[in-house]
Structure 1
Amino acid sequence: MTITVRRIDAGEARARTEVLTEALSDVLIDCVEGGASVSFMLPLPRAKAQAFWRGVLEGVARGERVLLVAQTAEGRIIGTVQLITALPDNQPHRADIAKMLVHRAARRRGVAAQLMAGVDAAARAQGKTVLVLDTVTGGDAERLYQRAGWQIAGVVPNYALMPDGAYCGTTFMHKQLAV
């Protein structure tokens, strides 16, 4: 499977909001249905997923975040990650990573690693030197991030809920980038 990771710029975010919202909602709903603890509970109504992605695309249009998507050669979005750059004045060098999602049908093919490499490059291009994220403690994503050079800052037990309502610990991680 040939995968391309690309950035959705402000113009595309404005011009293709509905198409992007639908494609990104498909990925989000699939991930939540697959048990990913990414802020949403089961069942995730499509309207709620769509509202979330419209808000993200508005943030992209305002320059508050970078949105990357992984696409197949046919143009189907199968993954995504965000770089949140709208932070307080005393943190111009830092960004948060959010909603690193890969559709279950596309997993174990290097898509997540490509997305993370792309978000690192996007962060460097914006002069960011410190990245922060959180993930489910002990999950596949935690191991992926460690392979990509992320360090564990700490773990909070019972911090969040899995989509089915079970408690899960959250691992906070950071990565120092050379610009």
Structure 2
Amino acid sequence: MTRPPAALRRLGAAEAAARSGDLAALLIACVEGGASVSFMAPLARARAEAFWGEVAAGVGRGERLLLVAEDPAGGLLGTVQVVLAQPENQPHRGDLAKMLVHPAARRRGLGAALMRAAEAAARAAGKTLLVLDTASLEAERLYAREGWIRVGRVPDYALLPDGRPCGTTFFYKPLA
């Protein structure tokens, strides 16, 4: 049985704020699944919703883009952000952040689709270089397949949600 494709789209500030509960559920599922995305387990729903409230405010100020992957019924399967706001000597650069795919929706090509959509949105916003970091070996393989260039790995850079130290790998991709 084939699954219907996910719809990819950008959320504006108002919709991001209105969907903070759905976004929080996605973040919590990823953290519970072991994703090292700046939060420790257990992640309280109020903390996750507050995070997405801050993201929505950043979208409203034009500091970031928020893209989502949805199932045909509108449920969130994944999300990614492009942080546009950079220091004045780096106006050409964006950061790819919080690439999340729900554990139940993995291995369907959503991560690659979100990456391509984020790259296109960054390019449209005038960015010529993207950077990201990841603690996931699976994500490293995805980024390499999508043409990202591995810079290197810093051991014990962050903590996994259960408190164990983990290394982080840094990547970049020219968009020209």
TM-score range, shorter chain: over 0.9
Match of 2:7 in 1: 4
Match of 2:39 in 1: 40
2:168 is the alignment partner of 1:165: no
Match of 2:151 in 1: 153
Calculate the TM-score normalised by the size of structure 2: 0.95
Q: Describe how 1:16-31 pairs up with structure 2 within 5 A.
A: 17-18=17-18, 20-31=19-30
Given that 2:24 and 2:49 are in contact with CA atoms closer than 8 Å, whether structure 1 keeps it comes out as yes
Q: Provide the identity percentage.
A: 59
Match of 1:106 in 2: 105
SS in 2 for 1:165: coil
RMSD: 1.0
SS in 2 for 1:37: coil
Number of positions where the alignment pairs a residue of Structure 1 with one of Structure 2:
173
Q: Compute the displacement of 1:25 (Å).
A: 0.6
2:116 is the alignment partner of 1:117: yes
After superposition, what is the alpha-carbon deviation per residue over 1:100-130, rounded to whole angstroms, capped at 9, x for unaligned?
0000111100111110010010011011111
Q: Compute the displacement of 1:90 (Å).
A: 1.0
Given that 2:70 and 2:77 are in contact with CA atoms closer than 8 Å, whether structure 1 keeps it comes out as yes
- Give the Cα separation in 2 of the matches to 1:127 and 1:61: 18
Given that 2:16 and 2:52 are in contact with CA atoms closer than 8 Å, whether structure 1 keeps it comes out as no
Q: Compute the displacement of 1:16 (Å).
A: 5.7
After superposition, what is the alpha-carbon deviation per residue over 1:143-171, rounded to whole angstroms, capped at 9, x for unaligned?
11111111111211000000001110000
